[in-house]
Structures are given as C-alpha cells and as structure tokens.
Amino acid sequence: MTPDAVHLDEVSVSHGRRTVVHAVSLAVKPGAITAVLGPSGCGKTTLLRAIAGLHPIDAGRITLDGQVVSDGRRRSVPVERRTVGLMPQEGALFPHLDVAANIAFGLPRRIGRDARAARVREVADMSGVGDLLGARPQHLSGGQQQRVALARALAPRPRLVLLDEPFAALDAGLRASLRDDVTSALREQGTAAIVVTHDQAEALSIADDVVVMLDGAVAQAGVAQEIYTRPRSRRVAEFVGDSVILDADRVGATATCVLGEIAVHGGGSGRGVVVVRPEQVVAESDPNGAFEVDRVTFTGPDTVTTMRHRDSGVSVRMRATGPHPPASGPHRVRVTGSTMFLPAPTAR
C-alpha cells in the first residue's frame, strides 16, 4: 500500500506559551492537492512551517512518505532532509542571482552540470519562465517571480510542495491565471501539495480536498463539494462561500422558515437553521408576495440582490447571472434544490 505523501496525527504547535495549532490531523495522498482554508491568524502558516521542519511541534507526529520526520520534541528530521518544496507568499528569490541560478539553488550538488541545466530548463518551461532564465528578480513582475518560486520548489522533485498564500499579492486577473498554471504544473509533475489560503473560491477550485481551520483546529475536512453543500457548523457555513442563515423548524425532509417550506438534508430535527446559498434563491413577481427589493449589487458576471421580508425585516441575498435584477414591487421568494439543516445546539 502506497503511503500518504504527508500524514499528520494530532499535531499541536505553539508560539511561546500560546498553542496556535491544536491536535490537527490530515493526510494528503501522492499527487493530490489539499487546501488548508482559514482566516488570518488561525494557524495555517504555522502548520505549514511545522511540516517543512521550520518550526518544532509540541505533540503529535508528522510522516512524509511513510517516514516519521517530527515526533513531538523527541525527534525532528532537518529541513534539508525532508525533500519538501516551499513556495512562499512573496517568492523570496535571491536578488543577486538570475532566474536560472534561483531555480537551480535547491538542486543537489551531486547533479552534473548538463543534468542541472536540463532540469532547470524543464521546470522553467513548465512554469512559464523559460524565456527569463538570464533575468534578475528585480526586473520581473510579481506573477513572474511567483512562477520562478514554483520552478525552484519543483526542481528537486520533492515528494511534497507547500504553498503559503502563493497568489495573495497578485491582482485578480493574474491570480486566476497563475493559479491555473500552478495547478497544471503540480498535476503534470504528479507532486502532492498543500496550499494555504484564506480565499474560499481559490480553495474550492484547485483542491482535491479542503481542510477548514478555525481557531487553530480542523473544523471540517473533505472534498470541496461536501464542504460547500454540507457544512458541519454555522461557522464553517459562514466562512466557506456566501450563505444566508435562516431560523427554521424541521420535520422529516423539509423545514419551515421565512421562505416557506424547503427541502433539507443533514441530520437533526426540530429547531435549528438552514444554510441557503444565494445562487439557490429565486424571486418571482407576485402581488401577494412578502418580499421587496432592498439593494442591488452588480459584480460583473453576476448580480446580487438583497430581498427584504416586509413584516419580519429578514434579508435574503440572491445571486443571478448577468445584469438582470428583479423588477420593483412585491415578490415571492423560493429556494431551488436542497439546503443544509443544522440543529440548534443542545443546552448543557
């Protein structure tokens, strides 16, 4: 049986006396991409540094390709022997070296000159910087610097690449383009990767699996579709994607809320909330409807309309493709598909 590219078992990490990563467990299969998604300060980068060997762990175990590399404070394999590539947020290139030398920096010294040059050319072409090998980092754009950082991380053929908010400093258009290219390069190399990000769309679009971290702990882990459609808690639902959380009462496969009776999935019954995604909401003109248009926001490809309930004041957001908001006047609002039901917490 092929071992996981990386396996974390109840890993805890601290800064001084403050524990910032609490008993995190996760596994990444060879060639798979896992996104660690969470808000700033939740411990994502600290976890990445611990996997790389740049920060000691207090408890638990980190295994790379079946080899234990960290076991609490009792054992820690040095960074240079972990065969892990790191792509930091800002590239962190050496300004006094050209692109070729930056890419070659992590290659073992035992590799001959011709093999070294061939590998540099291979990963440079794969990363889209094959025509920039003689350039210095200060003459490159932000996107080009990140491509060089990716090539440098891939050059030694690592078993795992760690990417720390790799697209955060780029503008939206370049971020999307580079994200696709980086994902393609990782897939082509068959390299497992962990991508740390606070961007929900980024995590859902590039990863085979998503790990949601909140307050230093894993709040939920699974495939992207499951995280989005079946959040296990209100906090996960509110963090991963846009959501409308409505009080509801569930009986069987339906729940009653301000939108009427809607189909639900998930466990529990009785009092709780439903998680409605804006793309599930549809408004239809109806003289007897209880909702009216409150606000319209045009985002480019979509239009987000806030509908307000006339009696209760409850607001519901709906997202539709194109610049076509509902007309003024009363509306009936309904939900398409099934929504996640989360039962109310049991009093202790």
DSSP string, 303-320: EEEEEEETTT--EEEEEE
Residues of the chain above pLDDT 70, percent? 98
| pTM for this prediction | 0.88
Residue with tokens 């497992």: 192
CA distances 99 to 26, 58, 85, Å, are 35, 38, 17
Confidence grade of residue 348 (pLDDT, cut at 50, 70, 90):
very low
Residue pair 207/275 in contact by the 8 Å Cβ criterion = no
Dig out the tokens for 180 from the structure.
Answer: 């696709």
pLDDT digits over 237-250, tens only? 999 989 999 999 99
Among 27-31, 125-129, 319-323, 342-346, the range of highest mean pLDDT: 27-31
Q: Please write down the HEC assignment for all residues of 68-103.
A: EEEECECEECCHHHCCEEEECCCCCCCCCCCHHHHH
pLDDT digits over 76-135, tens only? 888 888 889 888 877 689 999 999 999 999 888 888 899 999 999 999 998 889 999 999
Distant-in-sequence, close-in-space partners of 199: CB < 8 Å, separation ≥ 6: 37, 167, 168
Q: What is the DSSP letter of 346?
A: P
Domains of the chain: 6-229 (3.40.50.300), 242-343 (no CATH)
